[in-house]
Structure 1
Amino acid sequence: MPITVWGLAIAQALLASGNILLVSVSALIGQHLAADPLFITLPVACQFLGLILSTLPAAHLMQTLGRKTGFVLGNVIGLLGTWVALQGLAATSLAGFTLGTFLIGIAIGVGQQYRFAALEACDSSLHPRAISLVMAGGVLAAVLGPNLAVWSRDWYAANPYGGAFYGLSGLYVVALLLILLLPLPRARPVSQAERVRSYGELCRQPLLLAAVASGMIGYGIMVLLMTATPLAMDHHRHDFSDTALVIQWHVLGMFVPSFFTGHLIRRFTTRRVILWGCAALLLSVAINLSGQGFWHYWWGLLWLGIGWNFTFIGATHLLTFSYQPAEKAKVQGMNDFLVFGAAALGSLFSGQGVALLGWAWLNLLAIPWILLVLVLIWRLKAGEPVAA
């Protein structure tokens, strides 16, 4: 595997560590700063808003200026976001803190291109393994992210969770230095002779619709339940250390399967792996509905992570069969815009869902969406190019 893919895997690990750190503390900080319970998860929602607003511009920017320029810019914006969030905490301002998470969301949106950059750095026969390797970098995030949230509680006197943003700024500095050293592929300008299909033409492909739906619903359901978990566990009087442990194992479930997901795709096809992911998501919901003890949350979030891994990596690989090289930025940007738009809706509704509906109904609402993905993937013809 090329050195660039390994470097992008480390960059993805740093990005995911920051994401999990934010998930561990942002809703709790929102609970401290918000006067109205409906705004508890506003910082998390604005983080995803920044993410989805950056996806299309980031894809086109990188096609024009190259991956390195785009990734450097993203990490610089992330550093600025951590500083703004700290200023908001110092002023006990929900608006200021939310602006900081919005900027961090932009940086996260740019970083979502790591997996696509890995595809450009290797031969097509290695694509499933490259995607899996980059996503496997999140195993480090499972250890570093939640623990950094715990270790940093004494780093910032004004707020026990503010120290997490000092740790986050350190992650962005390391990622910035790494990107500067990596030999990333140069920009590939689109030739005037190459035809780029319209969004309408592209979206009439059952393959693309299935890929986007798998990414959207898999990610949206995962974020909905993961973001709600700290609030639900706090409501049921679980310690913060227990919550951090549940989130840590959830992230392990998200990323450890990446070491063999690529092999499973090559052996059993992308279609079957996504179907397994839907089954894992349904199992997670069933466990969550069976009780509110520590082990219910632990097992439920673990299977939620595994389901996300199979649906998201499968969707990323499936997407690569739906566009020509000249359409790369258009399709990748559209896909990420929709996928992380669904994640933003999940994060925005999670706080309200726990407050208004309760943990059980929040899980029940996820079932029809998971079944929709299952049907769309199941209906793909056996002859579709869904294997490496």
Structure 2
Amino acid sequence: MKKKHLNLIILFICQGLNGSIISLLTLTSTLVGNKLSPIAYLSTLPITATVCGAALMVYYASRLMEIYGRKISFIIGNIIGIIGSVLACISIVYQSFTLFILGAFVLGSSTVFNQYYRFASAEIFDDEVNKKRSISIIIGGGVFGGISGPFLAMKGEYIFPDYHFLGTFLLTAIICVIIIIIQSFFYLPMELKKEIIGKHIKSSYKNEELVNLLKSKLFFLATSSCAIGFSLMTLLMNATPLAMLHANFDVEDSALVLQWHFFAMYAPALILPFFVDKLRTTNIILFGSLFFIIGMIIAIFIDGFHSFLFSLFFIGLGWAFMFNGGTFLLNEFVSSKFKHKLQGINSLVVYLSNMISSLSVGIVMSHPRGWGILNIIGVILIFIYTIVFFIKSKNLSGDK
């Protein structure tokens, strides 16, 4: 087997396994928080801590990759994940809400490395079409994580009957160990030779060049698409377990809804490789906006289990198209000497917007009509964004 294809398979598997941790945290963090929290509206603080940990780590993860390469950085990320899992386990045994928040924060720091699999996949091949196909395939690996994460969360909930979800976080530690073993077979040549690393770090970039790239229409469209799509998805996805709990649905119902949501998030990426040479990237992003609007309108006007199911399904599709499309646009900078900084800043913006969304969930969901309010806010935001994006993208050059 060619080394390029082996690398792609390894990234695909690791994306799926890391994705299972993310989806597992989405389902369990709020439920454990609801059990341990002394105040009801603080129940989403653990999932917010996860996003905060990711937001603080995301740029440093990019710098680690710039200095030490992808492989070592991915392994470091999973070592952090093991530490976070152990802290979460200890917090459940001792019923410590504060310690659980710390564990969620550390786990969030580890999950952010998952964002860089898509960038690593773009470096495997040289031609533009295969780069886009690789990105889609790797993002698509998350479909297995989206399905397996809630499943593992349910199976781990009662492994230790006296400590609900202790087994779940023990499983996250095991997953991190498995990922480290698999990643030991991954190889991409270092972009920087060791003898020039020290010089590179000490020297400053030409800020005027970097600033021009950051101000460019291409970077704005790429980053805004990823950030808006991700933050809206986070807002509604993190609210779902609480909204369904308030509507008297059990954990199994929430898990099923989230499994279909994650399937919708990642499955389109497995289909997009066959159409990347036929669809304009800007149209992919606009399709994502449309799916978001459909999903949120369903949540506003329809009640019951199927409302949650179809709403989260379309919201997942919206994320898939907006996030893939934004990544395709950002990949235009892959040959730039500033690519690591641009990728880091892109991811930082994404996670800062996620953090704001996540912080909003607990406050809004403490209101009896919180679920409806979140969806109304979402429709307004995505409608405004779609208009701005359409105007800004009209004069974008090439087939973007």
Tell me the equivalent position of 2:109. Answer: 106
Aligned length: 387
8 Å contact from structure 1 (residues 120, 185) kept in 2: no
Q: Which stretch shows the higher mean deviation, 13-22 or 184-193? A: 184-193
Question: Which residue number in structure 1 is paired with residue 135 of structure 2?
Answer: 131
Match of 1:233 in 2: 244
Alignment partner, residue 147 of structure 1: 151
Alpha-carbon offset, residue 197 of structure 1: 4.4
1:111 shift after superposition: 2.3
SS where residue 256 of structure 1 aligns?
helix
Inter-CA distance 156–116: structure 2 relative to 1 (3 Å threshold): same
Determine if the alignment matches structure 1 residue 120 to structure 2 residue 123: yes
User: 1:204-233 CA distances to partner (integer Å, 9 max, x unpaired)?
Assistant: 211111111111110000011011011011
- Any idea what SS the aligned residue of 2:260 has? helix
Query: 1:181 maps to which residue?
Result: 185
Secondary structure of the structure 2 residue equivalent to 1:266: coil
Separation in 2, partners of 1:259, 1:308: 14
- Separation of aligned partners in 2, 1:294 and 1:7: 37
- Aligned to 1:271, what secondary structure does the other structure show? helix
Do the aligned residues in 2 keep the contact of 1:51 with 1:340 (CA within 8 Å)? Answer: yes
Whether the 8 Å CA contact 2:262–2:316 is kept in 1: the answer is yes
Which residue in the other structure is 1:384 paired with?
397
Tell me, yes or no, if the aligned pair for 1:236 and 1:292 is still in contact at 8 Å.
no
Does the alignment pair 1:373 with 2:385? yes
Residues 108-134 of structure 1, C-alpha deviations (whole Å, 9 max, x = no match): 112211111111111232111011110
Unaligned 5+ runs, structure 1: none
- Conserved? CA contact 1:51–1:109, under 8 Å: yes
Distance 2:180 2:214 in 1: 35
Equivalent runs, 1:328-347 vs 2, <5 Å? 328-347=339-358
Query: 2:68: which partner in 1?
Result: 65
Contact 1:210 1:376 in 2 (8 A): no
Report matched runs for 1:1-388 at 5 Å.
2-125=5-128, 126-188=130-192, 195=206, 197=208, 200-322=211-333, 324-356=335-367, 358-379=370-391, 380-387=393-400
Q: Between 366-375 and 309-318, report the one with greater CA deviation.
A: 366-375
8 Å contact kept, 1:194–1:326: no
| AA of the residue aligned to 2:144 | L
SS for the counterpart of 1:186 is coil
SS of the equivalent of 1:265 reads coil
| Deviations 1:239-276 (CA, angstroms, capped at 9, x unpaired) | 21111100000000001111122333321110000000
Q: TM-score under structure 2 normalisation?
A: 0.92
Find runs of 4+ consecutive structure 1 residues off by over 4 angstroms: 189-199
Deviates more, 1:193-202 or 1:349-358: 193-202
Aligned amino acid, residue 165 of structure 2: Y
Q: Which runs of 5+ in 2 are unaligned?
A: none
Which amino acid letter does the alignment assign opposite residue 63 of structure 1? E
Q: Relative to 1, partners in 2 of residues 1:365 and 1:103: Cα closer, same or farther, differing over 3 Å?
A: same
Cα separation, 2, equivalents of 1:93 and 1:322: 45
CA gap 1:195/1:146 in 2 versus in 1, 3 angstroms: same
RMSD: 1.8
In 2, Cα distance between equivalents of 1:39 and 1:199? 40
What SS does structure 2 have at the residue aligned with 1:127?
helix
Q: Say which SS state the counterpart of residue 113 (structure 1) adopts.
A: helix
SS in 2 for 1:140: helix
Identity between Structure 1 and Structure 2 (%): 30
1:193 to partner: Cα distance: 11
TM-score by length of 1: 0.95
State the distance in 1 between where 2:288 and 2:19 align.
20
Asked if the contact 1:197–1:327 (Cα under 8 Å) also holds between the matched residues in 2, the reply is no
8 Å Cα contact 2:231-2:357 kept in structure 1: yes
